[in-house]
Structure 1
Amino acid sequence: MLLYEQLASQLREQIAQGALRAGERLPSIRQLARSHGVSTATAVQACLQLEREGLAQARPRSGYFVRAATPQTPSLRPPRRRTPATVSNPMLQDVLDMLARSDLLPLHSATAAPELLPQSALTASLSHCLRHAPAAALDYAPPQGHPALHRMIAQRYAQLGVSVSPDEIIITAGAMEAISLALRTVTTPGDVVLVESPTYHGILQAIAALQLKVLEVPNVPGGGIDVARLDQRLQQNTVRAAVLVPNFNNPLGSLTDDAAKQAILASCAKHKTIVIEDDIYGELSWSGQRPSPMRRWDRHGNVITCSSFSKILSPGLRIGWLVGSEWTDALLRAKYFSTVGGASLPQLALVHYLQRHDLERHLRRLRMALADNGQRLHEAIERYWPKETRACTPRGGLSLWTQLPPDTDVGALFETALAEGIGTSPGMLFSSRGDYADCLRLSCGLPWSDKLDRALQRLGRLARDKRIHR
């Protein structure tokens, strides 16, 4: 046995015996080399071997840590209703109250913490535009948005092998305005819209506001959109549009693979169902490999793609976009009649930022931070929460979906945590009829801290508290 294998075996045994627990830091490379009488290169090889086995995880500038055992995957039942219906989930009305609070530890918010985003560089770009082009910065933006930003977005798609003309891009106030405009343009009240289940509650609110009916299709934890059931739903119902999040669905973090994306597009084209693709999390692959948007395989002009810079650069700038295909003119009219145009200053500042900074470098750091935060959440759940707790293993995005033991009153847990200043998102928010009553979504967007660790401990205690058990 080679020296590094001997050292790895000893560390492996310490982990198995509990001498080194999940989340704890391994001795430093220098400590390992000194205490075991080996070279630093041998110590590095031993740690790399444990990483390959899934027993350890490297954290930038911090060393190697014992990786938590992966919790069991949640066992989600398919949506109860298989026929179209109006959105009837009273809890959706309460979301705004929670989002308006600034005193919460925001484990409920699927955004990256400000310290993970390039605040200083964006502030400098905003200041530059106000100093050097105040008239343009404070004037109306064109209804379609500033052409320079269109070109940059189109170039980004070209890097993914997706051909997009700058002329079919419309700048919006975030991805939610993009989705709402798309729905308003291609549907009329009473139409049926297919969504994944669970799905982001904002999509359900947009459907309800437009008096549309919703039809749910399962999203399988770790596997993405259930293609067979989607096709079955389309055969059984007349569905005008499908709002889908194939890349790192919120709340599961699931990634729909390329073959499934192509099958979904074929099925939707066959049944004349327009695909509204929400690709807001596509840049946040924890592995670093950016998945393709569905648009890449659209051969029928059947996809409207929506996305945003909110999750990767700044939620407050409110810059999203639509890629409208043949609906571009109609979408632009809807945008003009709704808001005339967007704000110029954020668009011009973003152009300035993108011209002068390496977006890929920032994304690499952000992806690593989110992956690390997700692993630490897993470790905390393993340490502090009931043993029967299940959790998804996201491939990317900003969310971690958990499933608590069946006798846990998640609604009471949510309310108690809220009263103590901890925000969480109960699973009932993510379906049209309040399903997933035993689930909870947490945010991976917060850098790890003692405060966050204490909050996870507290949530674990609440989950065990007999007062919140049925």
Structure 2
Amino acid sequence: MLLYERLAESLRVQIAQGVLRAGERMPSIRQLAHGHGISAATAVQACLQLEREGLVVARPRSGYFVRAATPLPPAIRPPRRRVPGSVSNPALQDVLDMLARSDLLPLHSATPAPALLPQPALAAALTRSLRHSSAAALDYAPPQGHLALRQQIAKRYAQVGAAVAPDEIIITAGAMEAISLALRTLTAPGDVVLVETPTYHGILQAVAALRLKVLEVPNLPGQGIDVARLEQLLQQNTVRAAVLIPNFNNPLGSLTSDANKQSLLESCAKHGTVVIEDDIYGELAWSGQRPSPLRRWDRHGMVISCGSFSKTLAPGLRVGWLAGSAWTDALVRAKYFSTVGSASLPQLAMADYLQRHDLERHLRRLRRTLADNAQRMHEAIARHWPQGTRASEPQGGLSLWLQLPAGGNGYALFEEALKDGIGTSPGVLFSSRGDYADCLRLSCGLPWSGRLDIALRKLGRLAARQSE
């Protein structure tokens, strides 16, 4: 038996006997090498072997940890609604009430914590823009947005193989305004819009505000959009637009494969359905391999791409965009009639930041931290939540989707958690008619801390009471 195999077997036995417990930090590489009289390279090889076996997990800058038992993924359930209908979900109002509170541990907010964002660099960019371009910063922006920022966004698309010209980019107040503008431009009240289920509640609110009907296509945990079902729905219904989140869907975190992205685009083109792509999480692939936006595979000019810096750089600056394809002129007019133009100072500052800093370097740190947070949360759920709790295993984004054991009620848990100062998002928010009553979404955008660990223990105890 080779030296690394002997060490791996010794550690394997310690894990099996509970000497090294689930979630516990392994001895460092230096400690293993010194304690067993071997080289650091041999110790690393042993740990890599245990990682391949799924017994340990590596955390950036922290070392190796014994992997806790992983909860099963949520069960796949078809939506109750199989025909177009209006959004009818009173719980959507609760989102606005909760967002007004500043006293909660924000496990309900799918945004990175401020500590994970480059605040000093962004503050410096704002200061420079105000000092050196005060006239432009304090004046109206062009309805389409400042050219310097549109050029930077076009460069990001080019880096992932998507051809987007600066002239078709329109700057918006976040991705939600982009989606709303696209829907308002493409549809009329009573039209049918395809959305995923579960999907982000903001999309449902936008659809409801425009008096549109929804048709729900399943998003499958770990698989993404159900393209076979999407084709069936388009065959059976006249659908004007589809609002889709193929890259790390909110709330499941599922990634739709490149092959399925191409299939769904072909289906939509064949049936005359315009795709509004919400790619707000595409930059947050925990592996570091940024998945392609739908725009890369668009051969028919049927995709309007929406994005934002809210999940990667600065939620409060509200800098988003859409790439309007053939609808650019109509979308610029809609933007002008809506808000004239987005605020100038955030645009100029964002362009300044992107010109001066390596965005990819920041994203590498952010992705590693989010992946680490999600792993720690998984382990805490496995240890402290009732048996039978299921949890998604996303590959990116900011969300964990949980399914409670039989008898669990995500909304009741949400209400009890508020009393303890903990924000969560009940599953009923993520469907047009309040499905997923036994589910909830948690954000992995908070840095791991003792407070977060205690909150997850509390939530586990509250969930356990429901099944007593």
The answer on 1:254 being equivalent to 2:254 is: yes
Q: Corresponding residue for 2:386?
A: 386
- Please say if residues 409 and 469 of structure 1, whose CA atoms lie closer than 8 Å, have aligned partners that are also in contact: no
Residues 145-195 of structure 1: CA deviation (Å, up to 9, x unaligned): 000111111111111111111100000000000000000000000000000
Q: Aligned equivalents of 2:26 and 2:233: distance in 1?
A: 50
After the TM superposition, which of the residue ranges 11-20 and 164-173 deviates more from structure 2? 11-20
| Alpha-carbon shift at residue 302 of structure 1 (Å) | 0.5
Unpaired segments ≥5 residues, structure 2 = none
Q: Aligned equivalents of 1:196 and 1:53: distance in 2?
A: 35
The 3-state SS of whatever aligns with 1:411 is helix
Q: Aligned equivalents of 2:355 and 2:409: distance in 1?
A: 50
Q: Aligned equivalents of 2:275 and 2:186: distance in 1?
A: 10
After the TM superposition, which of the residue ranges 128-137 and 206-215 deviates more from structure 2? 128-137
Q: Corresponding residue for 2:367?
A: 367
Paired residues for 1:304-319 under 5 Å = 304-319=304-319
Paired residues for 1:140-219 under 5 Å = 140-219=140-219
The 3-state SS of whatever aligns with 1:316 is helix
Residue type of the alignment partner of 1:33: A
Q: Aligned equivalents of 1:224 and 1:108: distance in 2?
A: 22
Residue type of the alignment partner of 1:58: A
TM-score, scaled relative to structure 1:
0.98
| Alpha-carbon shift at residue 53 of structure 1 (Å) | 2.2
Residues 36-87 of structure 1: CA deviation (Å, up to 9, x unaligned): 2222222121112222222222222221111223211110311001000000
Q: Aligned equivalents of 1:233 and 1:22: distance in 2?
A: 45
Paired residues for 1:422-433 under 5 Å = 422-433=422-433
The answer on 1:17 being equivalent to 2:2 is: no
| Alpha-carbon shift at residue 18 of structure 1 (Å) | 2.3
Q: How much identity, in percent, do the aligned residues show?
A: 78
Residues 344-383 of structure 1: CA deviation (Å, up to 9, x unaligned): 1001101111111110100000000000001001000011
Residue type of the alignment partner of 2:285: S
After the TM superposition, which of the residue ranges 315-324 and 39-48 deviates more from structure 2? 39-48
Residue type of the alignment partner of 2:201: H
Q: Aligned equivalents of 1:436 and 1:147: distance in 2?
A: 43
Residue type of the alignment partner of 2:115: E
Q: Aligned equivalents of 1:147 and 1:130: distance in 2?
A: 17
The answer on 1:69 being equivalent to 2:76 is: no
- Please say if residues 406 and 467 of structure 2, whose CA atoms lie closer than 8 Å, have aligned partners that are also in contact: no
The 3-state SS of whatever aligns with 2:30 is helix
Q: Aligned equivalents of 2:68 and 2:334: distance in 1?
A: 49
Q: Aligned equivalents of 1:380 and 1:340: distance in 2?
A: 48
Q: Aligned equivalents of 1:448 and 1:247: distance in 2?
A: 24
| Alpha-carbon shift at residue 95 of structure 1 (Å) | 0.6
Q: Corresponding residue for 1:91?
A: 91
- Please say if residues 70 and 393 of structure 1, whose CA atoms lie closer than 8 Å, have aligned partners that are also in contact: no
The answer on 1:451 being equivalent to 2:445 is: no
Q: Aligned equivalents of 2:86 and 2:421: distance in 1?
A: 33
- Please say if residues 240 and 274 of structure 1, whose CA atoms lie closer than 8 Å, have aligned partners that are also in contact: yes
Q: Aligned equivalents of 2:377 and 2:327: distance in 1?
A: 42
Residues 98-119 of structure 1: CA deviation (Å, up to 9, x unaligned): 0111100000000000011100
| Alpha-carbon shift at residue 90 of structure 1 (Å) | 0.5
Residue type of the alignment partner of 1:212: L
Q: Aligned equivalents of 1:288 and 1:17: distance in 2?
A: 35
After the TM superposition, which of the residue ranges 16-25 and 397-406 deviates more from structure 2? 16-25
Q: Corresponding residue for 2:418?
A: 418
TM-score, scaled relative to structure 2:
0.99
Q: Aligned equivalents of 1:406 and 1:238: distance in 2?
A: 38
The 3-state SS of whatever aligns with 1:428 is helix
Residues 415-437 of structure 1: CA deviation (Å, up to 9, x unaligned): 01011100001100000000001
The 3-state SS of whatever aligns with 1:74 is coil
Q: Corresponding residue for 1:101?
A: 101
Q: Aligned equivalents of 1:215 and 1:246: distance in 2?
A: 17
Q: Aligned equivalents of 1:296 and 1:97: distance in 2?
A: 38
After the TM superposition, which of the residue ranges 286-295 and 56-65 deviates more from structure 2? 56-65
The 3-state SS of whatever aligns with 2:436 is coil
Residue type of the alignment partner of 1:334: A
- Please say if residues 197 and 219 of structure 2, whose CA atoms lie closer than 8 Å, have aligned partners that are also in contact: yes
Q: Aligned equivalents of 2:301 and 2:63: distance in 1?
A: 49
Total equivalences in the alignment: 468
Residues 183-236 of structure 1: CA deviation (Å, up to 9, x unaligned): 000000000000000000000000000000010010000000001100001111
The 3-state SS of whatever aligns with 2:91 is helix
- Cα-Cα RMSD: 1.0
Q: Aligned equivalents of 1:409 and 1:361: distance in 2?
A: 41
Q: Corresponding residue for 2:327?
A: 327
| Alpha-carbon shift at residue 122 of structure 1 (Å) | 0.1
Q: Corresponding residue for 1:33?
A: 33
Unpaired segments ≥5 residues, structure 1 = none
The answer on 1:354 being equivalent to 2:351 is: no
The 3-state SS of whatever aligns with 1:90 is coil
The 3-state SS of whatever aligns with 2:216 is strand
- Please say if residues 7 and 43 of structure 1, whose CA atoms lie closer than 8 Å, have aligned partners that are also in contact: yes
- Please say if residues 68 and 375 of structure 1, whose CA atoms lie closer than 8 Å, have aligned partners that are also in contact: no
After the TM superposition, which of the residue ranges 179-188 and 3-12 deviates more from structure 2? 3-12
| Alpha-carbon shift at residue 17 of structure 1 (Å) | 2.4
- Please say if residues 286 and 370 of structure 2, whose CA atoms lie closer than 8 Å, have aligned partners that are also in contact: yes
Q: Aligned equivalents of 1:438 and 1:13: distance in 2?
A: 38
Residue type of the alignment partner of 1:281: Y
Residues 296-323 of structure 1: CA deviation (Å, up to 9, x unaligned): 1111110000000110001011000010
Q: Corresponding residue for 1:112?
A: 112
| Alpha-carbon shift at residue 457 of structure 1 (Å) | 0.3
Q: Corresponding residue for 2:289?
A: 289
Q: Corresponding residue for 1:301?
A: 301
Q: Aligned equivalents of 1:10 and 1:71: distance in 2?
A: 26
Q: Aligned equivalents of 1:21 and 1:185: distance in 2?
A: 56
| Alpha-carbon shift at residue 469 of structure 1 (Å) | 4.8
Residue type of the alignment partner of 1:259: A
| Alpha-carbon shift at residue 409 of structure 1 (Å) | 2.4
The 3-state SS of whatever aligns with 2:369 is helix
Residue type of the alignment partner of 1:243: V
Q: Aligned equivalents of 1:61 and 1:154: distance in 2?
A: 33
Q: Aligned equivalents of 1:324 and 1:73: distance in 2?
A: 36
The 3-state SS of whatever aligns with 2:86 is coil
After the TM superposition, which of the residue ranges 34-43 and 362-371 deviates more from structure 2? 34-43
- Please say if residues 108 and 423 of structure 2, whose CA atoms lie closer than 8 Å, have aligned partners that are also in contact: yes
- Please say if residues 198 and 251 of structure 2, whose CA atoms lie closer than 8 Å, have aligned partners that are also in contact: yes
- Please say if residues 405 and 467 of structure 2, whose CA atoms lie closer than 8 Å, have aligned partners that are also in contact: no
